[in-house]
Structures are given as structure tokens and as C-alpha cells.
Structure 1
Amino acid sequence: MAPPKSKAPTQATNTRIFFFSILLALQYGAQPLISKRCISREVIVTSSVLACEAAKVIFAVYFMAKEGSLGRTFKEWTLVGALTASGLPAAIYALQNSLLQISYKNLDSLTFSMLNQTKIIFTALFTYFMLRQKQSIQQIGALFLLIAAAVLLSVGEGSNKGSTSGNADQILFYGIVPVLIASLLSGLASSLCQWASQVKKHSSYLMTVEMSIVGSLCLLASTFKSPDGEAMRQHGFFHAWTPLTWIPVIFNALGGILVGLVTSYAGGVRKGFVIVSALLVTALLQFIFEGKPPSLYCLVALPLVVGSISIYQKYPYQIKKKES
């Protein structure tokens, strides 16, 4: 895959990246609290996921129509191009989610969360090999600072939860190995999305539509045998839904649009910075709305996240004369 030509980002692009990143951090950070308050336990999970994917498609088509690219985009659309740009990442994300479900059942939440942070490193590696997107020494240090912050936040989240007992082989082969493979797949899929948007100039909104449709088809196929499918056949698709249930569904759909935009404009590595920063947003919102003070781990992680973002932005990789 040929690397894209290096261009210095304009002030307008930097402003756009900052705006989308702030919105994504707020959405990702607020999502757990909104879902907890608005979705009852009786709601069938698959129905909310399918509704979210449908909402993503509607929003993406609306935004394409608003910017005037809808007609041109669908005129130039081809099945081969869609499968190349979005089909493979969608299939990878589906496999990744399955592996995470297996791992989560066989690991305590702390170990799972810490190992899951390795996807940031895998994203950086894949963007280097696929896009020749190099990192400066300072940026590599910033990545490790970010992972340290993510580990601290994971410790804070998992310290109050019990661990799962089990033999060593089960923990290794059904817990550690699946989550590491899932992290590797996450880095690969994120890099593929970045490659499609930056090299192949595939629209971020179009990728959202394509990946949502592919993901929904895979999910619908699974309902023929899954407990959620049986529940929907017995009780109906919107069982236990209320008007409030739509709030987190729509909020999550908009978050999916923002993920595509951040990946398209800023890349998968910076998306990792946004996601970890969002954990701090969750802690802040819990303090504001639930009176739950942030843990010591969260307070220690805060300067690490701020410092890592500052270093990563301040010391980009400088292209040498021979490379240019």
C-alpha cells in the first residue's frame, strides 16, 4: 500500500480535529452514565445495537446530503471498493468483538482492561507499516505515558471488582490470548480505516454506512441461534423500550460518526488518546451527577494523559530531506 503524500495540516484542519476530538471524548465519557439511566435491563441488547447501526446510517446519509456529496458518492460507489475499504475492517471488528466476549468471561476486569490498552501500540505499529506514519522519539514516549495512564484508570476501575478464578491454562488460552489478538485486530482495523480514508479517499460517512450495514447483517444472521434472537421473536424487537431508550442509542450513533471523522482526519493513534481521555470525562461526570469522587488512580492518571497529549502534539515526526 502506497503511503499518502505528507502534507502539513492547515489551521482549519487542526481546528476541526480538535473540535471532533472534544466531542468524541464527551460522548464516549458520558455514554456509560446515559445508558445506565435510560436503558432498562429488560431491553434486548441486540435490538439496541441494531437500532444504533440504523441511526448511524441515517445520520451519515444526512450529513453527506448536507455537504452536497451524496449524489456523487453513490454514483462512484462500487461493490469492490466497498468491500476493500469497509468490508474487511467490519469483518475484523466483528471477530474482535467475539474474542473480547470470550476473554472477558475468563479474566478479571482489571487484567482484561490493562491488556486491552495494548491496542494503542498495535495501532501505531500498523499505521507505520501500512501508511509509513512514523513517530518521533517524544511521541513514542507519549504513547507509553498514555498506556501508563490507561493502566492506572483500569486499576481504579477494577480495584472494587472481584477476580475470576480458574486454572492457568484456561486463563492463558481463553483469556489472555484472545484479548491480545483482539487488540492486534483493533489496531489493524483502525489502520485499514485510516488507509481507506486518507489514501483511497473513501468518505468517512460512506465508510460508516458500509460498516454499519455489514455489521448489522452479521448481527442479524447471529439472531437465528442466539438467545437475543429468540427473545425478539417472543417479545418483539422493541421489548421494554421507552422514549428515553432512544437517547443513548442516538448518542452512541453520533459517537460512531465522530469515531470515523477523528480516524479520517487525525488517525487511529490520536483516536486512542481521545478514548483514554474520555475515561477521565466519565470520572468527572460521575462526581458531578452521582457524587462519586474520582479515585486516587484517576487523579494520578490525569497529568499523565494531559502530558502525553501535549508531548504528542508538540513533537511531531520531522521528515528528513532524504525522505522528502
Structure 2
Amino acid sequence: MAAEGGFGAAGDREGELQRGAGGIGRTEIRSSTDANQKLKYISLAVLVVQNASLILSIRHVRTLPGDRFFATSAVVMAEILKGATCLLLIFLQKRGNMKHFVLFLYDSIVQQYMDTLKLAVPSLIYTLQNNLQYIAISNLPAATFQVTYQLKILTTAVFSVLMLKKSLSRLQWISLLLLFTGVALVQVEQAGGKQTAGDQNYIVGLAAVILSCLSSGFAGVYFEKILKGSAASVWLRNVQLGLFGTVLGLLGLWYNDGPAVAEQGFFFGYTPMVWTVILNQAFGGLLVAVVVKYADNILKGFATSFSIVVSTVASIYLFGFHLDLLFTVGALLVIGAVYMYSLPRAPTPARLVDEKEAFLPKSNHQSMEKEAILKSWGIFSRWISFAYQAQQAGKTST
């Protein structure tokens, strides 16, 4: 009996220890989940600020009177800074071991040169795209550029279907149609209003943003295809892109602004605000990688649409942008299209049977996010309506 009692007591103590360990484990999992949730929304908030501030700041520095910096030199500096950041992250992954770091780079970039050369094509396109963005923002209002630039969703979808053999849901095709309609309404309003002045050219800006969307769609899909075909990290791929991007950017600088740069200097026209724009552009791509890791497409679409609203409202007060009904309807269609396109596809019946237990919690989570998105869309609509009414009231008073 004593033995049995001892065994029972030991079993009880073991059970208490296991329950205690289980409680500790659950606490750690819960704290880890909470930390990821915080990082998720922090990264999305930063992405909203980055998207809106980049467009607004480029518009600001490119329309200021006085010496104008060379956009080609800014593109080169952004590539250098982005590549340096990725090199630092790889170095930290190697725990600061310089030997392992150098050997890794030599093996990944030099010895596997054919793999590196694959990045020449997207790097060329990204360099072209970055230069086109400066041209577009210099000739279009910030809000118009931000809305029109969402056509990259359409071009990316088309190239994904053609190159990656992806299939789109009916909802995604509808959202693409709404996206195109919204952008068309905005362009009709802009073409009718001709809201450009001075040395700005609406046709040049529109052509630049359309070419930028085409290049963004193709380069993004091509880059995705390369990433899925190898085990290389995103940071290494960005280093490889940066190598080609810097060289190609320098060639573009020499071709477009060579004599002027030789006479006035590489950093001609650089101010603290210009450096802010370059840093913002350099780290924007790296920020997207963090968002993709810790968030999802729904919330990324939320951040993109929110940044459109921020850019529009800020343009009204900073640049005297005139908001009318046609632009408002077009912008809201684009915002709704971004939301709809980022929503997850409905699972097939077979998947429902195979993953019933795993799917139900996820479905509940997705429905909550959909509800939050719809509420946010309503808030955005009221914000734009309020800005429009305030602008009309200002016109009436004057």
C-alpha cells in the first residue's frame, strides 16, 4: 500500500509538473503570438506611412524652386543603401564571422555566376521603374499618381497568369475590372482638368506611370519565379539585384545626365529632404519583406488603400489638390478593388473536408478581418467626403 501510495504521489507530482510545464508553454506561445500580432500591425502602420510619405516627399522635392537634384543619381544611391543593408543583415545571420560571410558571398555570387546573372533582367527593369517613378511624380499630382500606380496590381495579375500559370478567382477578376474603371475615371477627371502647371507635362507623367506599372508587374513575377526556383534568401537576392542595379543605374546616369553630373557633381542639389527621400525609397522594399512575413495580403491591401487616402488628403492641404466627385468615385473604386483582390480565395469542398478542423478557426479570423476592412472602407469614404466638402466650402467662402 505504501508503495502504491508513493507511486500515486509521485504520479501526482509528475502530473503537476507536466501541467505546470504545459502552462508555461502555453504562456510562451501566447506571448509569442501577441508579439507577432504587435509586429504585424506595427509593420503595416509603418508601410502606410512609408507609401504615402514617399510619394508626397518626392512630389515636394521635385517641384521646389531652385537647384534640382539628378533623379538618376538618387536611384543609384537608393540601390547602394539597399544593398548595404542586405549585406549587413547577411553578416548578422553569419553571427559576425567575417570569414564565413566572405566565403558565402563568393560562393553565392561568383561561383554560382549563372544563378546571379538571372537577376540582371529584373534589376534592369527595377532600375527603369525607379527612374520612371521620378518622372511620373514630377509631372502628376501625388494623389493621381498614387491611384494610377495601383494598375501594377492588374499588370502583375496578367503576368502571373501568363508566366506562372496562376488562376484568378471570379472575385479577383471583378476587382481588376473595378480597378481599371476607377483609374480610368481618375484619368478622365485629370485630363479634363489639366491639373499640371509650369514645366509639368500630364501626358509624360501618365506615360511614365503606365510604363512603371508594366515594368513592376513583369519584374515582380519574374523575381517571384526566381525565388521559388532556388533556396537563396531574399536578402541575398536583393544584394544580387543591388549589384546589377548600381551598375545599370550608373550607366543610365552617364547616358542621361553625364555632362551635367561631370560639371556640377554627383550630389548636386542634395538637401536633407532629398536624403530622406532616398532613404525612404531604399528601405521601402525591405519593409515590404517584413510585412509579407508577419502580415498577409488582406492587411497589406488595407495598408495600400489607406496610403491612397492619406496621400489624397495630404495633397489637398500641401499642394492645393482639387478633389471633385469624379476623382472621389474613381479613388473609392480603386480602394475597393485593392481590398477585393487581396481577399483569400474560397476553399474547394475537398479542402473543406480534408482541413475542416484547421479551416474553421481561419475562416472565423478571415471573416473578422473582412468585417474590419469594410468598416475601414466606410471610414475612408467619409474622410474623402469630408475633405471634398471642406474644399467646396473653402471655394464658396472665397
* TM-score normalised by L of structure 1: 0.69
Separation of aligned partners in 2, 1:257 and 1:219: 19
Report the counterpart of residue 375 of structure 2 in structure 1: none
Q: Do 2:122 and 2:223's aligned partners in 1 also have CA atoms closer than 8 Å? A: yes
- Contact persistence 2:145–2:209 (CA under 8 A): yes
Shift in alpha-carbon separation, 1:151–1:26, aligned structure 2, 3 A: farther
Aligned with residue 35 of structure 1, among 58, 66, 83: 58
SS in 2 for 1:247: helix
Instruction: Please list, as runs of the form range in 1=range in 2, the aligned pairs for 1:89-104 lying within 5 A after superposition.
Output: 89-94=122-127
- State the Cα distance separating 1:50 from its structure 2 match: 1.5
Pairs aligned (count)? 302
Q: Name the SS for the 1:239 alignment partner.
A: coil
**Matched-pair contact (CA < 8 Å) for 1:126–1:187:** yes
Q: CA deviation at 1:189?
A: 1.3
Matches within 5 A, 1:1-324: 20=43, 22-38=45-61, 41-66=67-92, 71=101, 74=105, 77=108, 78-84=112-118, 86-94=119-127, 119-158=152-191, 159-161=193-195, 183-226=213-256, 228-259=257-288, 278-287=307-316, 289=318, 292=321, 294-319=323-348, 321=350
Q: Distance in 1 between matches of 2:41 and 2:162?
A: 26
**What is the CA–CA distance in structure 2 between the aligned matches of 1:266 and 1:146, rounded to whole Å?**
23
Report how far residue 175 of structure 1 moved: 11
1:124 aligned partner, one-letter code: A
Q: Give the structure with the higher percent helix.
A: 2
1:19-40: CA deviation from partner (whole Å, max 9, x where unpaired): 6555334322222322344565
Amino acid in structure 2 at the alignment position of 1:214: F
| Aligned partner of residue 276 in structure 2, secondary structure | helix
Distance 1:247 1:82, change over 3 A: same
Q: Deviations over 1:160-217 (max 9, x none)?
A: 3369xxxxxxx9xx99999877654432211112223344344222232222221221
Pairwise CA distance, 1:57: 1.4
If you compute each CA radius of gyration, which structure gives the higher value, 1 or 2?
A: 2
> Secondary structure of the equivalent of 2:171?
helix
Q: Cα distance 1:212–1:182, how it changes in 2: closer, same or farther (>3 A)?
A: same
Shift of 1:87: 1.8
Deviation at 1:62, TM superposition (A): 3.2
In structure 1, what residue type is equivalent to 2:269?
A
Quick one: distance in 2 between partners of 1:277 and 1:204? 26
Q: Which residue of 2 aligns with 1:3?
A: none
Tell me, yes or no, if the aligned pair for 2:44 and 2:303 is still in contact at 8 Å. yes
> Structure 1 residues 13 and 132 mapped into 2: Cα distance closer, same or farther (>3 Å)?
farther
Higher relative contact order (CA 8 A, sep 6+): 1
Supply the AA of the counterpart residue of 2:271: T
Instruction: Please report how far the alpha carbon of residue 156 of structure 1 lies from its aligned counterpart in structure 2 after TM superposition.
Output: 4.6
What percent of counterpart residues are identical? 26
- Residue 166 of structure 1 is matched in structure 2 by none
Stretches of structure 1 that go unaligned for 5 or more consecutive residues are 1-9, 105-110, 164-170
Question: SS where residue 251 of structure 1 aligns?
Answer: helix
